[in-house]
Amino acid sequence: MEAKNIYVPEVADIIKIERMTELETFYDIKLPGGRDLGHEPGQFVEVSVFGIGEAPISVSSSHFKKGSFEMVVRNVGNVTQAMQKLKVGDKLGIRGPFGHGFKTKDFEGKDIVIIAGGIGLVPLRSLINTIIDPAERKKYGRVIILYGSKTKEEFLFRGELETWEKRDDIEYHVTVDRKTSGWNGNVGVITTLIPGLKLDLHNTIAAICGPPVMYKFVILSLRSKGLKDNQLYVSLERKMKCGVGKCGHCQINNIYVCQEGPVFNYTYIEDLKEAI
Amino acid sequence: MSAKAIAREKIPDAVLLLKTKYRVIAPVPKGKTFVFKKIDDPQEIVLDYNTTILPLKKFFLPPREVLVEYNLKKQEYREPEIKSEPTVFFGIHNYELQGILRLDYAFGTGVKDETYLKKRKNNIFIGVTYTPDDFHFAKSVGIPTDLKEGFDIFLTKYNSHYRVEALTDKGKSIVSQWSEFLEECSYDSDPVVHFKNKLKQSVAGIREVFHGAYNHPVWKETSKKCYSCGTCNLVCPTCYCFDVSDEVVLGTNRGSRSRRWDSCQILGFTEVAGGEAFREKRYDRVRHRMSRKFAYIMDDRDRPFCVGCGRCIRQCTANISITDVMNALL
Amino acid sequence: MNNLSIRVPYVTRVEGHGTIAVDLKEGKLIKSVLEIVEPPRYFEAMMKGYLYTDAAVISSRICGICSVGHQITSVKTTEKALGFDISDQTVTLRKLLVYGATMQSHILHIFFLAAPDLFNAPSVIPLAKTHPDTVKMALRMKRLSNDICDIIGGRTIHPNRLVPGGFTKLPTEEQLLWIKDKLENQMVPDAKTSFELLKSLADKFPAFIRETEYIGLKTDSEYAFYDGDISSTDTGLTPEKDYMSITNEFIVSHSTAKHAKHRRSSYAVGALARLNNNYGKLNPLAGEVADALGMKPIVANPFLNTVAQLIETIHVTEESIKILDALLTTGIKAERPFVPAKLHEGTGVGCTEVPRGILFHEYTYDNKGRIVKANCVIPTNQNAQNIDDDMKELVPWMIANNFDKDKMTLTLEMLVRAYDPCISCSVHFLDVKYVE
Amino acid sequence: MSKPKVAFFDFTSCEGCQLSKLNLENDLLDILELVDIVNFREAISDHGEDYEIAFIEGSISTPHCVERIHKIRRQAKIVIALGSCAHIGGINAIRNNMDQDEVRETVYGNDKYLFPSIKAQAVSDVVKVDYVIPGCPMDNQEFKRVLSALLTGKIPEIPEYSVCVECKAKENECLYDYGIVCMGPITRAGCRAACPTNGHYCYGCRGLVPDLNKNAAKDVMEKYKLSIDQIKKRFYMFNTNYVNMEEKSYE
């Protein structure tokens, strides 16, 4: 039998597009025949736009979502810019899912703190919606969501944020770096939300994703709170060109982020220079 | 002991016979140096050569190759046709083939890269002994001159003739067709090859040297001389990093996605969409290359991704030597 | 018509920036000039201090259109100044390159710059629709001449194989065979078609005559392009080293380019000047075509320079086939450029017939092979005064022939275009210290 | 969809880039299908002033050039500097290192103010430039790539790595092995190593690589026995403006 070529994308349909902010757009993608992507929360896909190129994009929908999967794309490069021009019914190339995400099995019975900075919410939303799925929620302890954004105008998934805030089984805290009109909540970087948390130090894990500068400070803060390194999970951003551990662009010391990550237990990468 | 041998002057005839069935790739002169090339006239082949400009990887991982073809209108992606015509690689040094074996490991383990692997089918390797020059250090990285791993046939040079050893069934079948060119000869032992050890320490355990070497002054010192031109990566038999880009033929619906040899020495290599580069300092990049060779990547037998061909030293305009850098760490 | 003022700012379809200015007041022509408004470029000053290996690289940038001509002339000048030996093979290949560049430049001028006037079109773009076969043929001819330059010189614009002493890379015999085949089976028939076309358009060229002095290289052995003595239709032969006695450059206020004069108030160089000096050496087909078009010396209608270019295109095609035959008989010999054992001081003059006329370079080197002085005299500078003088007679001639203003403007533009002026070249600028 | 209107403007240059486009020959007709060329002085007589994409050739070297380029920038949505002269000042900038007044006086004598000139500058020194197509002359394959990218709505990217990358891919012998000083290691690629592939040293026409290690360059050139003056001269050949800037930042 002919071995499958790992570089050839599948052609998928865009079934829904929603502008979220000035820079970010939401896409709902249907694979051929409505096949499930079968991803873990935190995994990514390589998305191709015909004629333009390919870029790694985090999957944002729950592991349990049927028939299609979702992503949110920030307009920063050639591919993402070209995606802005696409319409419902247009085609995209999809490869993946790639790498390792959050192993929710390991989180069962535990309290989960989710710390999302800006667009870092995109992959973490996949985790959130997986663990708060009605059939799943009872498997986990407390679910605490910390979300930080530059301004309230840059909030993603606003409707969902409201539901999370309302739900009794989710502790939701949000902050903005800069107050704009109409904002009455917290102002300050995301680390300011951490000291006030009351955590069961022995039975909590934290999942972190955000801009590169955020990690160092969030980790310091969680450590000073008393969490151990093995309780921390981070999702790293790198230039993942091939997605399959060959091209070398995402390599941090001896690991390929696209293969072993992008989600790592912090103990695994804390000794890696260049990681954070 | 007695063995089969071939006289140097009969080699072109032997190659001519091979050419009836195979594409033959062999070293030929190019100015002051050598290159591997498809052979039209077997007389051009040189068997006494030091190193070619580029390693054999250019045949399996070309400087630029199409990964995916597509049509903008039809909105389809297609795998390009990947040819693997039966090929004999003739007159190959053993470190060279070790380079290919490292690439086989890189592309054949984990997710399999068929674009590479398809070209590795139908290959026959005929090795030849070599006289190490000032740049070779294969022995220092665990590749003695008599290592014959991977070859189908191996030619050991005696003065004016080569002892012919068939090492695989494919090799045996070729040697049997060569009978008219071969003669019986007797020999006592293989010629002694003088090889100066270039590394202070053997490769066993060399990975440990990198523990605690992250802030060693040698990185900064070396980086002061380095242009970051990427030559060392490009000429390396075991470097395989690549960049990927799309192109549409102007005025048509034909598009393609290609990969191109890349270099971890270039600033943009680690840059992400937001503009941040994760190895921004030149010394970070110098360290990454050396560490990748000897610590980050090893094959299944724990052998480093350096085969001691010396190309990166020979071809560095800034005269940076991987062995000098390693010795500074040892 | 007593009062008239014509300004054609930035004449189009010429190389570089020039403005036609004509003023007629009360029946008296008070101004009729081609103002050269291209910014000055100071090349000779810029070359100072550079090594002999760099002279051709820099002087090539005087003009991309004429870069082959500048480079050939530059390496020849350096070789003369420093006493380099070059092989016969190098000379043959350089000639091929000069012929390829001549073809390329002439075809570009005939079909892309001049032809639209003959077809009453503003450019070649609409011609692609109205005369697709002609445009396709022209593109094909130009492509082949470019390919010749690419194969011999490395590339057409700013070639990168020419160095003092020889070539850094040689063409293969397969490539030369390919060129020969294409010249014989494509260029010759296309050139014949072009001849028929030009013949049918002959009445579109204004029948304006003004005799002048025609200057071009001349040699016993062939229609001179690569080298020879300087030949004048007025005064006969002058050795190349005495080129300054011919060019006598001077400054005029309406032009950033210098002008030149010899025996008369001006002289002409270029295809027509070469033809007037070399007619007897034309190859058979080119000779036939010249005769069929009535181009027998002395041809004194400046508009017919375009016709002379076609004749030369045919001539160099035949000449190239001839030398390719010879070259392919002996085969290409592997050789590297000559490298001098020791450098010494020296001065040299080099000249070549480039498409627009005779080009001179003169360099003086110090004993480390660095340029001390450089001077380049460019065809367009030499033609500049001749163009002004033509205009001075053309305007009254047009008035006498009842041209309206539009037709006068177009005819003036056609005149300037006929010279195929290369204004970038003309403003390379002279180092005045040197001409004191 | 209407075809984008494209204009070409030339400033102080040798016009090689204009010719380079005409040398696209057969592709030229395809290009005409894709864009409306409204201004291209060397090839067409019409002057359209309604354009979206302006390709600029040549350096800015007179007060009049400055005026013209500002006018173009106000009109054009996208400005592309094409060729070394426009991209980095190129060979025109060699004279920037000479005393400007003296240069003018040398040439014009008492009439030195007749034709005012300023230092030869890159287009981006005067107005905002969106993209560049480097090279002397520009590479017409790269021109096609950039045009294709613009028409497909992609940011035209040019290589950030050195000519060595392309030169090695072509398996050329290194010219340093012949004692020839080549600017390849520090020059931006994209030309497919045009000159070294033809055995000629690279003169740096595509500009220097973004993270230039200038001191390394000096060491290497010194190793090959060229005087500092000659090293500088080769640096200055196409990159005077850049090298000047660098030296200022070191002072």
Q: In 3D, which of A177, A174, A197, A196 has the Cα closest to residue A187?
A: A177
**In a shared domain, residues D12 and D41:** yes
- Residue where a domain stops, chosen among A57, A74, A98: A98
**In a shared domain, residues B32 and B172:** yes
Chain A neighbors of D153, CB-CB under 8 A: 52, 81-82, 85
CATH code, A218: 3.40.50.80
Judge: A251–B292 Cβ closer than 8 Å, yes or no.
Answer: yes
**In a shared domain, residues A160 and A140:** yes
Residue A244 lies in a domain: no
Q: At what angle do helices C405-418 and C379-400 cross, to 10 degrees?
A: 150
Q: What is the band of B294 on the pLDDT scale with cuts at 50, 70, 90?
A: confident
Judge: B63–D177 Cβ closer than 8 Å, yes or no.
Answer: no
Residue B166 lies in a domain: yes
User: Taking CA atoms, what residue in A is nearest to D149?
Assistant: A52
Q: What angle do CA B260, B261, B262 make, to 5 degrees?
A: 110
Residue B254 lies in a domain: yes
**In a shared domain, residues D139 and D206:** no
Judge: A8–B77 Cβ closer than 8 Å, yes or no.
Answer: yes
Residue A203's domain comprises 104-235
Residue B33's domain comprises 2-186
pLDDT tens figures, C335-394: 999 988 888 999 999 999 999 999 999 999 999 899 998 988 889 889 989 999 999 999
By the 8 A CB rule, do A46 and B111 touch? no
CA-based nearest distance B48→chain A, Å: 35
Residue A89 lies in a domain: yes
**In a shared domain, residues A163 and A227:** yes
d(CA A264, CA A101): 8
Residue B200 lies in a domain: no
Q: In this structure, how many other beta carbons lie within 10 angstroms of the beta carbon of residue B314?
A: 20
Residue B107 lies in a domain: yes
- Residue where a domain stops, chosen among D129, D152, D175: D152
Q: Is C66 exposed, middle or buried (0-12, 13-18, 19+ CB in 10 A)?
A: buried
Residue D72's domain comprises 5-152
- Residue where a domain stops, chosen among D152, D181, D212: D152
pLDDT tens figures, B182-237: 988 887 777 777 777 788 887 778 888 888 888 899 999 999 889 999 999 999 99
Pick the residue of A48, A50, A52 with the most D CBs within 10 A to test the interface with D by mutation.
Answer: A52
Q: Where are the beta strands (DSSP E) in chain B?
A: 2-7, 23-30, 33-38, 64-71, 76-78, 87-92, 123-128, 153-157, 161-166, 182-186, 242-248, 254-261
Residue A147 lies in a domain: yes
CATH code, D101: 3.40.50.700
By the 8 A CB rule, do A259 and A244 touch? yes
**In a shared domain, residues A150 and A78:** no
**In a shared domain, residues B154 and B98:** yes
More confident residue, A66 or C40: A66
**In a shared domain, residues B151 and B210:** no
User: Taking CA atoms, what residue in A is nearest to B298?
Assistant: A254
Residue D81 lies in a domain: yes
Tell me the domain boundaries of chain C.
43-435
Kind of pairing, strands B2-7 and B161-166? Answer: antiparallel
Residues in Cβ contact with C327 at an 8 Å cutoff, skipping those fewer than 6 apart: C89, C92, C93, C96, C176
- Predicted local confidence at residue A139, as pLDDT: 92
pLDDT tens figures, C50-88: 999 999 999 999 888 889 999 999 999 999 999 999 999
- Residue spans of alpha helices (H) in C3-87: 43-47, 55-60, 67-82
Q: How many CB pairs below 8 A link A and B?
A: 116
Judge: B113–A211 Cβ closer than 8 Å, yes or no.
Answer: no
For the complex shown, is ipTM > 0.90?
Answer: no
Residue type, position A258, single letter: C
Residue the block writes with tokens 């600028």: C429
Judge: A50–B259 Cβ closer than 8 Å, yes or no.
Answer: no
Residue D205 lies in a domain: yes
Domain count, chain D: 2
pLDDT tens figures, A158-187: 999 999 999 889 999 999 999 888 888 889
Task: Kindly state the DSSP code that residue B295 receives in the 8-state scheme.
Answer: I
d(CA B66, CA B115): 9
- Residues of A in CB contact (< 8 Å) with B are 3-11, 48, 50-55, 74, 76-77, 80, 91, 93, 211-212, 237-239, 241-242, 244-249, 251-254, 259, 273-274
**In a shared domain, residues B143 and B272:** no
**In a shared domain, residues B232 and B136:** no
Domain count, chain A: 2
**In a shared domain, residues A127 and A53:** no
D153–chain A Cβ distance below 8 A for any pair = yes
Give me C356's structure tokens.
């627009």
**In a shared domain, residues D95 and D148:** yes
Residue B300 lies in a domain: yes
> On the CB side of D169, how many CA atoms lie within 13 Å of its CA?
25
User: Taking CA atoms, what residue in A is nearest to D153?
Assistant: A82
- Predicted local confidence at residue D47, as pLDDT: 66
User: Taking CA atoms, what residue in A is nearest to D150?
Assistant: A52
A130 membership: H or E segment, kind and range: helix A121-131
**In a shared domain, residues A93 and A215:** no
**In a shared domain, residues B225 and B181:** no
Give me C195's structure tokens.
């001849």
Closest partner residue to C433 (CB to CB) among D45, D95, D106 is D106
d(CA A178, CA B240): 45
Judge: C58–D106 Cβ closer than 8 Å, yes or no.
Answer: no
d(CA C147, CA C154): 9
**In a shared domain, residues B171 and B294:** no
Judge: B251–D171 Cβ closer than 8 Å, yes or no.
Answer: no
Section A217-233 average pLDDT: 91
Chain D neighbors of B54, CB-CB under 8 A: 168, 171
d(CA B40, CA B15): 10
Closest partner residue to B77 (CB to CB) among A11, A76, A274 is A11
Kind of pairing, strands B76-78 and B64-71? Answer: antiparallel
Residue B324 lies in a domain: yes
User: Taking CA atoms, what residue in C is nearest to D202?
Assistant: C160
Residue B199 lies in a domain: no
**In a shared domain, residues A135 and A90:** no
Residue A23 lies in a domain: yes
- Predicted local confidence at residue C11, as pLDDT: 61
State the CATH architecture for C43-435.
Orthogonal Bundle (1.10)
Residue A264 lies in a domain: no
**In a shared domain, residues A65 and A84:** yes
C361 membership: H or E segment, kind and range: strand C357-365
Residue A270 predicted with pLDDT over 90: no
User: Taking CA atoms, what residue in A is nearest to B256?
Assistant: A51
Q: State the average pLDDT for chain A.
A: 90
Chains with at least 3 CB pairs less than 8 angstroms from chain C: D
**In a shared domain, residues B51 and B165:** yes
Percent of chain B with pLDDT over 70: 99
- Predicted local confidence at residue B136, as pLDDT: 93
D210–chain A Cβ distance below 8 A for any pair = no
Residue A248 lies in a domain: no
User: Taking CA atoms, what residue in D is nearest to A80?
Assistant: D154
d(CA A16, CA A45): 18
- Predicted local confidence at residue C436, as pLDDT: 23
By the 8 A CB rule, do C101 and C68 touch? yes
d(CA A217, CA D189): 40
- Residue where a domain stops, chosen among B186, B221, B250: B186
- Collapsing DSSP to helix, strand or coil, C187 comes out as helix
pLDDT tens figures, B58-96: 999 999 999 999 998 899 999 999 888 999 999 999 999
Residues of chain C with pLDDT under 70: 1, 9-17, 37-40, 423-436
- Collapsing DSSP to helix, strand or coil, C123 comes out as strand
Residue D125 lies in a domain: yes
Residue B28 predicted with pLDDT over 90: yes
A84–chain D Cβ distance below 8 A for any pair = no
Give me D77's structure tokens.
């949505």
- Residue where a domain stops, chosen among D97, D124, D152: D152
**In a shared domain, residues B220 and B322:** yes
> On the CB side of B236, how many CA atoms lie within 13 Å of its CA?
28
- Predicted local confidence at residue B159, as pLDDT: 82
- Collapsing DSSP to helix, strand or coil, A168 comes out as coil
**In a shared domain, residues D97 and D177:** no
Q: How many CB pairs below 8 A link C and D?
A: 163
Judge: B270–A239 Cβ closer than 8 Å, yes or no.
Answer: yes
A53–chain D Cβ distance below 8 A for any pair = yes
Beta bridge partners of C203: none
Pick the residue of D154, D155, D161 with the most A CBs within 10 A to test the interface with A by mutation.
Answer: D154
Domain count, chain B: 2
C411 membership: H or E segment, kind and range: helix C405-418
- Predicted local confidence at residue D246, as pLDDT: 59
CATH code, A77: 2.40.30.10
Closest partner residue to B227 (CB to CB) among D147, D186, D210 is D186
Closest partner residue to D185 (CB to CB) among B249, B261, B317 is B317
Residue A1 predicted with pLDDT over 50: no
Residue D73 lies in a domain: yes
Q: Do chains A and C touch (3 or more CB pairs under 8 A)?
A: no
By the 8 A CB rule, do B266 and D199 touch? no
Q: Do chains C and D touch (3 or more CB pairs under 8 A)?
A: yes
**In a shared domain, residues A185 and A138:** yes
Q: How many CB pairs below 8 A link A and D?
A: 15
- Predicted local confidence at residue C434, as pLDDT: 24
User: Taking CA atoms, what residue in D is nearest to B248?
Assistant: D148
Judge: A85–D152 Cβ closer than 8 Å, yes or no.
Answer: no
Q: In this structure, how many other beta carbons lie within 10 angstroms of the beta carbon of residue A83?
A: 23
Chains with at least 3 CB pairs less than 8 angstroms from chain D: A, B, C
Pick the residue of B120, B244, B299 with the most A CBs within 10 A to test the interface with A by mutation.
Answer: B244
Closest partner residue to A245 (CB to CB) among B110, B262, B273 is B110
Residue D158 lies in a domain: no
Judge: A52–D155 Cβ closer than 8 Å, yes or no.
Answer: no
**In a shared domain, residues B177 and B214:** no
Task: Kindly state the DSSP code that residue A140 receives in the 8-state scheme.
Answer: S
**In a shared domain, residues A129 and A87:** no
pLDDT by 10s per residue, chain D, length 251: 578 899 999 888 888 898 888 788 778 778 888 888 887 766 666 666 789 999 999 999 888 889 999 999 999 999 999 999 999 999 989 888 877 776 666 555 566 665 667 788 999 999 999 999 999 999 988 999 898 888 888 888 889 899 999 999 999 999 988 888 889 998 999 999 999 999 999 999 999 998 888 777 666 766 677 666 667 788 889 998 887 665 554 33
Chain D neighbors of C12, CB-CB under 8 A: 41-42, 44-45, 47
- Predicted local confidence at residue B160, as pLDDT: 85
